[in-house]
Each structure stands twice: as structure tokens, then as C-alpha cells.
Amino acid sequence: MPVIPLLICDDSSMARKQLLRALPADWGVSVTMAANGQEGLEAIRQGLGQVVLLDLTMPEMDGYQVLAAVREENLQAKIIVVSGDVQTEAIRRVLELGALAFLKKPADPDELKRTLASLGLLGEPQTAVAIAREVPETQTSFQDAFRETINVAMGRAGALLARVLGVFVQLPVPNVSMLEVGELHMALADAQNGDRLTAVCQGYIGCGIAGEALLIFHGSEIADMAKLMQRDSVEYSDMEMLLDLSTILIGACLSGIAEQIDVVFSQGHPQVLGEQGGIEELIRVNKQRWKKTLAVEISYSLEGHNIHFDLLMLFTEDSVERLSKKLAYVMS
């Protein structure tokens, strides 16, 4: 039986490596890797993606755009979406665009094999598969591995928020970087952009990993979000809304991270900051703890609403070594 051209399209080298390892051992495929949707689409055009494992959240061209282009150009590709965005609406949309199946990240090898078999894509077992799978080995950096961990956690938190609000949450590619306190000040000042910020701050710690999570809102958008989260009680205040939203998003993100790296986080009591002093108060209160941090920035937006908010997770410098050890098995 001829070898099947398989394309793995994901912007994370860690995710591509995980998928490669999850493939059935006796599946006869030749593997091509693509780091974004544009590269992936070009590979499909060249006939290198008879079967495609496609991520959704990618720079330059996302998975939705790839699916739309494949349909528009009538390209012959059997596409399975493998994504951290597990919103019910996301799954519905990709299937409507022509994907044959949806798998959540990180892909379970058994589930992947069952899916391939159910779609008739496995064919007869091959013996010389290893030769067909020779792809350039790339070292996965800590930032790439941690960004993919955050990506999966972010997707689960987004799905929970979507169910609570009854909206589609647009998920970004999370940004992961090491920041000095001055750089963090500039980043927050840029986010403020002349508007007052209100933020909910919540500390977390577990297994030698600690930090602060900030859910940041522009003042003008708080009332709009409160309407979406409106409870039956007329006494449901903007502050209660902020605390409820932080419980949903921060809690779900931490839970998603903890599950992947096998830790348990304890969370402090959330506090609303910056209602009066804005960005300067945030920096003044926390500058000693934020001398140097591993910063994760996730910018959420809600489709059909002019509402945007940021989740900023600031891990202490001492946490990086512990996180590196936890992620070492996927970075080798």
C-alpha cells in the first residue's frame, strides 16, 4: 500500500512533536510539518497533505482560514482539527467548513487511532514506517513548550466562559515572555492606552510554582460585561461581576495548567485593584514581587460584542526552573 502524505500543521513545535509521537506506530505515512496556516495551505497545494492534522489558533493564517481556502480551491485533503479551543461553537464551525473530525489537545494516541480508523484513513499496517517519518528534529524551547501548555489551558477556560455567557470567545495566540519590572510597566501602560484599567488580582502557589494573575478590564467595558453576566438579583454589582469572572477564567486556566504539568495550585482571595488609581496603583502595589517575571498575556474578545479583556499571569522568576523541569519530558 502506498505511503500516505501526512501534514501536521501547528505553530507550536511542542504540539507538532506531541502529534508525531501520538501517531499509530504501524501507520504508513510520510510526514510534512508546517508552522502556520499559510505554510500548511501551500503544502496541501503541493500534494503533501492528503491527510492533515490542523491546529486552529495560529499566526498569519488560522485553521478556520485554511479550511475555508481548501474548500474554495477544491483541494483534496482529509482534515482532522486538533485544537485547544474546545468551544462547542468552534467544533460546529470547523465541521461545517469541511473538517472530518475534531480532537482536543493534547491528542490522546488511542483516540487519534480510533478517529483515523473510523474515517478509513489507516489502511493496512505498514512495517517500514520509521523510514517514512524522518522529519528534522527541532529542539523545543521552554517558551514554546510553556506557550502550548497555556494554549490548552486557555482554550478550556474560554469554553467555560462561552457556556456561561452564551457567546463565542475569540482566542488569541498567547504571548509568553520574561519581563523586567520596567518592561511590565510599559506593557500595562500600553494596554491602558489612555483609559482607566480595573483589574482583579489573585495569587497562586503550588509545588514551588507561584505568581499573580491579573484579569484586566478597560473601565468603559465593565458595564457591558456586567450586562452579559447579569444575574437575576438587582444587587449584582460590577465588583461582583469582576470577581465572578476572575473565578471562572483564572481558576479554569490554573486548573488546565495544573492538569498538564501534574501540580496542584492553591489560590488566594481575589482582590479588585485599580478602581481609582489605575495602572500606577497596580505597579506600585506589586513592583517588589514583579522585579522579573515570566509573563503570560492572553487577550480575549467576545464575538458580536465590543468587549476585550486581558488575562495576565505573572510567574515568579524562581518558578521558571520548576516549570522547566515539569516540561522537560516534552522538550527533549
Domain of 301: which CATH number?
3.40.1550.10
HEC sequence for the chain: CCCEEEEEECCCHHHHHHHHHHCCCCCCEEEEEECCHHHHHHHHHCCCCCEEEECCCCCCCCHHHHHHHHHHCCCCCEEEEEECCCCHHHHHHHHHCCCCEEEECCCCHHHHHHHHHHCCCCCCCCCCHHHHCCCCCCCCCHHHHHHHHHHHHHHHHHHHHHHHHCCCEECCCCEEEEEEHHHHHHHHHHHHCCCCEEEEEEEEEECCEEEEEEEEEEHHHHHHHHHHCCCCCCCCCHHHHHHHHHHHHHHHHHHHHHHHHCCCCEECCCEEECCCCCHHHHHHHHCCCCCEEEEEEEEEEECCCCCEEEEEEEEECCHHHHHHHHHHHHHC
Domain edge (last residue) among 132, 155, 188: 132
Residue 308, domain member (yes or no): yes
Instruction: Flag the least confident range among 11-15, 66-70, 276-280, 324-328.
Output: 276-280
Is 105 in the same domain as 181? no
Is 200 in the same domain as 266? yes
Distance, in Å, from the CA atom of 306 to the CA atom of 322, rounded to the nearest integer, reads 39
Residue 271, domain member (yes or no): yes
Average pLDDT over residues 111-123: 94
Q: Bigger pLDDT: 144 or 221?
A: 144
Is 102 in the same domain as 150? no
pLDDT at 129: 45
Grid cell, residue 154, equals: 486557555
Average pLDDT over residues 24-31: 93
CATH number of the domain encompassing residue 35: 3.40.50.2300
pLDDT at 131: 39
Instruction: Flag the least confident range among 72-86, 191-205, 222-236, 241-255.
Output: 222-236
pLDDT at 280: 63
Is 222 in the same domain as 268? yes
pLDDT at 311: 93
pLDDT at 132: 47
Is 18 in the same domain as 120? yes
Is 80 in the same domain as 33? yes
Residue 26, domain member (yes or no): yes
Distance, in Å, from the CA atom of 144 to the CA atom of 22, rounded to the nearest integer, reads 19
Distance, in Å, from the CA atom of 78 to the CA atom of 57, rounded to the nearest integer, reads 19
Mean pLDDT of the residues in the chain: 87
Is 80 in the same domain as 119? yes
* Residue 66 pLDDT greater than 70, yes or no: yes
Residue 217, domain member (yes or no): yes
Domain edge (last residue) among 75, 107, 132: 132
pLDDT at 295: 93
* Residue 195 pLDDT greater than 70, yes or no: no
Average pLDDT over residues 182-188: 73
Is 109 in the same domain as 76? yes
Instruction: Flag the least confident range among 79-83, 154-158, 262-266, 314-318.
Output: 314-318
Domain edge (last residue) among 83, 104, 132: 132
Q: Could you read off the pLDDT of 253-277 as tens digits, one per residue? A: 999 999 999 999 999 999 887 554 5
Residue 319, domain member (yes or no): yes
Residue 137, domain member (yes or no): no
Is 47 in the same domain as 87? yes
Residue 107, domain member (yes or no): yes
Neighbours of 259 (CB within 10 A): 14
pLDDT at 328: 86
Is 150 in the same domain as 268? yes
Q: Bigger pLDDT: 232 or 197?
A: 197
pLDDT at 180: 83
pLDDT at 222: 82
Is 178 in the same domain as 255? yes
Residue 46, domain member (yes or no): yes
pLDDT at 228: 84
Q: How much of the chain exceeds pLDDT 70, in percent?
A: 84
Q: Could you read off the pLDDT of 128-183 as tens digits, one per residue? A: 444 344 555 567 889 999 999 999 999 999 999 999 999 999 999 999 999 887 78
**What is the count of structural domains for the chain?**
2
pTM, rounded to two decimals: 0.88
Average pLDDT over residues 35-54: 97
Is 239 in the same domain as 149? yes
Task: Give the domain range for residue 184.
Answer: 142-331
